[in-house]
Chain A
Amino acid sequence: MDEQQIFQEMVGILKPYVKDPALLEGVTKDTHILDDLKVNSARLVDVIIKCEDAFDIEIDDDDADQIRTIGNAVDVIKTKLQ
């Protein structure tokens, strides 16, 4: 899976948790999940579980704590897929 595919998959995973769909237009690797997309911080664990299932990987709590932007998530997933 190349980086672009992972990025698209990530956006799809985040979509249900982004109340205002307009916020998803023009997202980039630097888009901040909580500040820019306004995802409820309580739901981040659900996003992580969905990533684990979508990519068949395990993301431990320390790795999860590093994820602030979509780019951070893509990097973590890339590392786990290697």
Chain B
Amino acid sequence: MKRRVVITGMGVVAPNAHGLDNFEQALREGRSGIRFFPRLEELKFGCQIGGAPEGVEELLPDYFGEEERLSMNQNIGYVSVSAVDAWRDAGFDLPGDEDSADWETGAILGCGIGGMDTIAEKVVPMVNEGKTRRMGSAIVEQVMNSGTSARVGGLLGLGNQVTSNSSACSTGTEAIVDALWRIRTGQATRMLAGGSEGPSPHIWAGFDSMRVIARKFNDQPEKGSRPMSASANGFVPGAGAAVLILEELEAARVRGARIYAEILGGTVNCGGQRGGGSMTAPNPEGVQRCIRGALADAGIMPDEVDAVNGHLTATFADPSEVWNWSKALGRGPDTFPHINSTKSMVGHCLGAAGAIEGVAVALQLHKGFLHPSVNCEDVHPEIAVFTEKIPREVMEYPELKVIAKASFGFGDVNSCLIFKKWEEA
């Protein structure tokens, strides 16, 4: 009999809010977390706007001791706060140093780029100046690819698999898929799943250099992230973290956990950079196979999908994505589900994207609403036929039951999850 997996706790540090209540409020209001960064202008970036959580530095002393904070770059700070929030939200206390490890609980917490800020600001200058011995003991744990998961593993005393996945923009969603399978196959009872990314210019620079990020709204930051719009001008880079606690259903029931949603199924695949795909553009067949694969794994029919939370980054690929969904679901403009993009408010948070957006999905299901996809008053002409399916204001939707969420990353990698509202039978 298949083990079912539900979400019993969540934590989020997003550009527009910290904490579930704030985040839900921000989503309902269509509140943007995008702002102008003077440093990007000094550094002559084309895109001088971005999404970065505010006020986290001030919060850290409430959460962590001084020694822990000395080895936390912003990436690790965001995910650590999110993980502790999620843990408490699930009804658990932080373990003491004397407790034994929790062998049943693990973590898959990924990044797209990782400790680039520490590398750029400390490692490279100090090594090059011959000052290696002055770097101190905390560099490795901040730059290693698994720095985020390793820190959280220690904070929460986790004793199951503790690792950081990485699949570019698909990272956060893939983490949830992998955690789902670990629980389904009986290898863990509970998994923290999510992702994070730091806000450093050195992380965003490569995207600026590719000219794929938004350069036309430096004077109007909140209007800059425009998924599905005719005036989309590239994605707006973002930073932050989110952690979802996935738990085996019976274990959740036994301890009387509050359940936000069930994860019915999910799939990851790659388009092979063939069939029209490349390092940076998806193979449409790969995308459609991923969506259909997720539906099959979830055991639901395409017409049961009430809403789609897209990848939808505000690049030229948005219209193709909407049509890929249409083909994968076999639903034309008249019968298409509602579709929104959380990135319209928080930007593209790279390794954190799938996780922050996954929390948005779970909140929308739990509370019965769809957040607006902002900044698309001017829907792109290629998808004008879908206009009525794009909420531009918050939509109360008590009958909302199933949301499909996907992420598509550089490397032509895809991931898709099917979330269902939790209703105790």
Contacts and interface: CB of A to CB of B under 8 A. Distances in A.
B67 A16 contact: yes
B66 A46 contact: no
Contacts of B66: 15-16
A49 B97 contact: no
Given A17-B67, A19-B67, A46 B138 contact: yes
Contacts of A17: 67
A69 to B, nearest CB: 20
Nearest to A18: B67
Contacts of A16: 65-67, 70
Contacts of A19: 65, 67, 97
Interface string B50-85: 000000000000000111001000000000000000
B137 A43 contact: yes
Contacts of A42: 137
A2 to B, nearest CB: 27
A45 interface: yes
B314 to A, nearest CB: 43
A40 B68 CA distance: 11
Contacts of B70: 16, 46
B38 interface: no
A49 B138 contact: no
B134 interface: yes
Nearest to A20: B97
B65 A49 contact: no
Contacts of B138: 46
Interface residues of B, number: 9
B136 interface: yes
A44 to B, nearest CB: 8
A40 B97 CA distance: 13
A40 B65 CA distance: 14
Interface in B89-138: 97, 134, 136-138
Contacts of B136: 45-46, 49
Contacts of A49: 134, 136
Contact of A43 (B65, B67, B97, B134): B67
A46 B141 CA distance: 14
Contacts of A45: 136-137
Contacts of A43: 67, 137
A45 B97 CA distance: 23
Interface string B168-184: 00000000000000000
A46 B133 CA distance: 10
Interface in A16-43: 16-17, 19, 40, 42-43
Contacts of B97: 19
B73 to A, nearest CB: 15
Nearest to A53: B134
B71 to A, nearest CB: 9
A49 B135 CA distance: 9
A30 B66 CA distance: 25
Interface in B133-180: 134, 136-138
A49 B126 CA distance: 14
Nearest to A52: B134
A49 B70 CA distance: 14
Interface of B: 65-67, 70, 97, 134, 136-138
Given A16-B65, A42-B137, A46-B70, 14 more contacts: A15-B66, A16-B66, A16-B67, A17-B67, A19-B65, A19-B67, A19-B97, A40-B67, A43-B67, A43-B137, A46-B136, A46-B137, A46-B138, A49-B134
22 contacts: A15-B66, A16-B65, A16-B66, A16-B67, A16-B70, A17-B67, A19-B65, A19-B67, A19-B97, A40-B67, A42-B137, A43-B67, A43-B137, A44-B137, A45-B136, A45-B137, A46-B70, A46-B136, A46-B137, A46-B138, A49-B134, A49-B136
Interface of A: 15-17, 19, 40, 42-46, 49
